[in-house]
């Protein structure tokens, strides 16, 4: 007579290291609450509201993908694929994440302004509570599909997107255009399109 052994759920007894950063979803709130703040990244990420530290979905997915955080949803850890759904759920296009990751990997501190708008800072002296430090650049993220075609950009297209975030008090506005997973950075000055290194 064969006996059947009970299959155990591999995630049922997960133990998290004490140094793990733990983030938790909070209903329909697009921000994730910092539950266990155990990382140096938090000085330059997220925002403080009601005496709590909150992380933007772009930041949370980046921290998960770089093995620096665990995202909990209804007390269950999310997989990377499930975490990507957080971006879709809050209407954050994938190309924004691609640009965010590229800039973070290059060492910039990034303040998420809106889903496709970032302010980037050099790391020296920047924290999320720094109100008096101006960003090095304002970045607008864009995918080719957002321009309505996949052909080369025209000057008017770039001007349209850069005008949306331009602020005379701020340093240069940059368009980060994503095509097939590759990011090219543009700036518009005096009507001329320039490709730049960021």
pLDDT 10s digits, 91-118: 898 889 999 999 888 888 888 887 777 8
Residues 71 and 100 in one domain: no
Tell me the backbone φ, ψ of residue 44, rounded to 5 degrees. -120, 10
User: C-alpha angle with apex 119: 147 to 108, nearest 5 degrees?
Assistant: 110
DSSP designation for 116: T
What the block records as the tokens of 140 is: 């607008």
pLDDT 10s digits, 2-46: 444 444 433 334 445 556 789 999 888 889 999 877 666 678 888
43: domain range? 20-92
Residues 58 and 138 in one domain: no
- Contact criterion met (CB below 8 Å) for 96 and 141: yes
Q: Is 36 exposed, middle or buried (0-12, 13-18, 19+ CB in 10 A)?
A: middle
* Separation of CA 70 from chain center: 16
Residue 136's pLDDT is 76
Residues 144 and 183 in one domain: yes
**What element of type H or E holds 157?**
helix 155-165
Give the whole-number percent of the chain exceeding pLDDT 70.
67
- Contact criterion met (CB below 8 Å) for 44 and 109: yes
Residue 56's pLDDT is 92
| 8 occurs within a structural domain | no
pLDDT band for position 72 (50/70/90)? very high
* Domain stop point among 92, 107, 124: 92
The domain tally of the chain equals 2
DSSP designation for 79: P
Q: How far from each other are the two terminal CA atoms of the chain, in whole angstroms?
A: 68
pLDDT 10s digits, 47-59: 888 888 999 999 9
pLDDT band for position 158 (50/70/90)? low
Which residues in 37-181 belong to E strands, given as ranges?
47-49, 52-55, 69-73, 76-77, 109-114, 117-121, 137-143, 173-179
* Domain stop point among 73, 92, 111: 92
- Of 158, 140, 169, give the one whose Cα is nearest residue 194: 158
Q: What is the pTM of this model?
A: 0.75
Residues 162 and 120 in one domain: yes
Residues 154 and 107 in one domain: yes
């Amino acid at each position: 007579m064969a006996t059947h052994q009970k299959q155990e759920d591999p995630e049922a007894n997960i133990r998290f290291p004490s140094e793990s950063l733990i983030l938790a979803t909070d209903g329909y709130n697009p921000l994730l609450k910092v539950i266990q703040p155990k990382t140096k990244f938090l000085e330059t990420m997220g925002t403080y509201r009601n005496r709590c530290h909150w992380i933007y979905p772009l930041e949370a997915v980046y921290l998960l993908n770089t093995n620096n955080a665990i995202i909990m949803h209804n007390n269950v850890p999310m997989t990377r694929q499930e975490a990507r759904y957080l971006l879709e759920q809050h209407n954050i296009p994938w190309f924004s994440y691609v640009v965010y990751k590229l800039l973070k990997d290059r060492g910039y501190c990034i303040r998420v302004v809106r889903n496709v708008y970032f302010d980037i800072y050099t790391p020296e002296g920047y924290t999320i509570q720094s109100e008096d430090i101006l960003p090095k650049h304002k970045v607008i993220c864009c995918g080719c599909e957002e321009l309505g075609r996949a052909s080369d950009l025209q000057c008017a297209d770039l001007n349209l997107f850069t005008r949306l975030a331009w602020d005379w008090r701020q340093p240069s506005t940059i368009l980060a255009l994503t095509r097939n997973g590759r990011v090219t950075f543009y700036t518009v000055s005096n009507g001329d399109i320039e490709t730049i290194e960021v």
